[in-house]
Structure 1
Amino acid sequence: MPTAIIADDERLMRDQLRMRLHQVWPELEIVGEAKNGEEAVELVTQLKPDLTFLDIRMPGITGMEAARQIGSQSNIVFVTAYDQYAVEAFERGAVDYVLKPPEQERLQLTVDRLKERLAKPKAAAVVSDSVTQMLSQLAEKMAAPKPAYLQWIQASIGQDLRMIPVEDILFFRSDEKYTCVQTEKFEALIRKPVRDLAEELDPSLFWQIHRATLVNVNAIEGVTRDIRGRHLVLIKGKSDKLEVSRSFLHLFKQM
């Protein structure tokens, strides 16, 4: 029976991954859990699991640093909530990975690869030079200073200009010429398109749900469907319903 440990500083994420793994690979035995990189390294040394599921960013040493210390003792599977750069890096480095939140279909692909690897004689993870270099580059990118996001929006209200704190904005919605800036109390206009705002606003605060719409995560009351099957975001305290494009539906699977 194959064995594994799960390392993630979020208890709920460990529980969710354990549940998903049981669904797609009931034979896999989870023999331990770790809350940080140090604990993961210690558990691998003690338990010698076939597989180690490592969150990338944890307190203390990161998942990438833990992977270097674990080396060939266990097959490494990175668990990541990070951007396409990370996914592409893992693909190039032939490293197994699971995206957060773990989805059954994507997890099944990873499990199939892992089963194939474990079926080979003397199956053992080797963190090769090329993969180590890739991990180092990714670590540098993640450790780089965060960009300075917009804190204020200068918008027109009639003949007046107003400085609006971004946290007060419920959503942005563009048409061909202008972008509407909607707050709880008023509506204003700017000329900057949503595609530019998406690059300048904190992505953890504003989600792009449509090519013409950005919404403040804290303003979302829920998501519903209309009779045409479209997904619509409901805004707290407002009657507005903002359409969600198919390409952005994945944002709401974690809610």
Structure 2
Amino acid sequence: MLSVLIADDEVLQAESLAQRLHALWPALRLLPPVHNGIDALAVLAREQPDLLFLDIRMPGLNGLQVAAAASRARVVFVTAHDEYALAAFDASAVDYLLKPVSDDRLARCVARLQRDSQPQPAMADLLRQLAAPAAASWLCWLHVGLGDCTRLLAVDEVCYFQSSDKYTEVVTAHQRHLIRLSLKQLLPQLDPQRFAQIHRSYIVSLRHVERIDSDMLGRQKVLLADGRSLPLSRSHAARFKPM
């Protein structure tokens, strides 16, 4: 629970602000208001409040001096004097409210404080998210050669990829294209739930696989739904045992 300290030498204004803050943000823990800079500094050291609502002109120490001692708390200045605005923001104030503060203006200040108070993800969590491959990161489109032209081809159209010298052939139901990527470069970019390497020269789209066949010598082939067959090497056969 966030705690807040109000410091204002006008007692009634401090009490009114406390009531309005409670109505707008009931989860806040309101510390008893103080009415001079010396008391504010003492409460700041003792309670370590999260938020400070400070008048600027106060006896003892002014609000700017109190704010200078608040290394952790976020500060909102509440004052009848607009000439301190630049100094207030130099002191890293979150907001600067001019008296009399309207309900709408106070509500916007509270909304900003609430938004900034949302917990931020830990750095370790962010790094894990960056390291984990997101679904959207899998390759969706290919730039393929078609005659003298280059076109975009959806990866969903691909039946299989076949290694061809320095290139890779992209084979769809009705066409063959060339791309300047090796199978080794291509495989990590493909969704493993949709594509699998079946041979050092082939990657197949799993949705086009109909069955696995074996001959009398135990050699296996991947049969596609359109009748084409591709070699399945022993080193990649384990994935297809359930089939």
Q: Tell which structure's C-alpha radius of gyration is larger.
A: 2
* Greater RCO, CA 8 A, separation 6+: 1
Normalising by structure 2, we get a TM-score of: 0.45
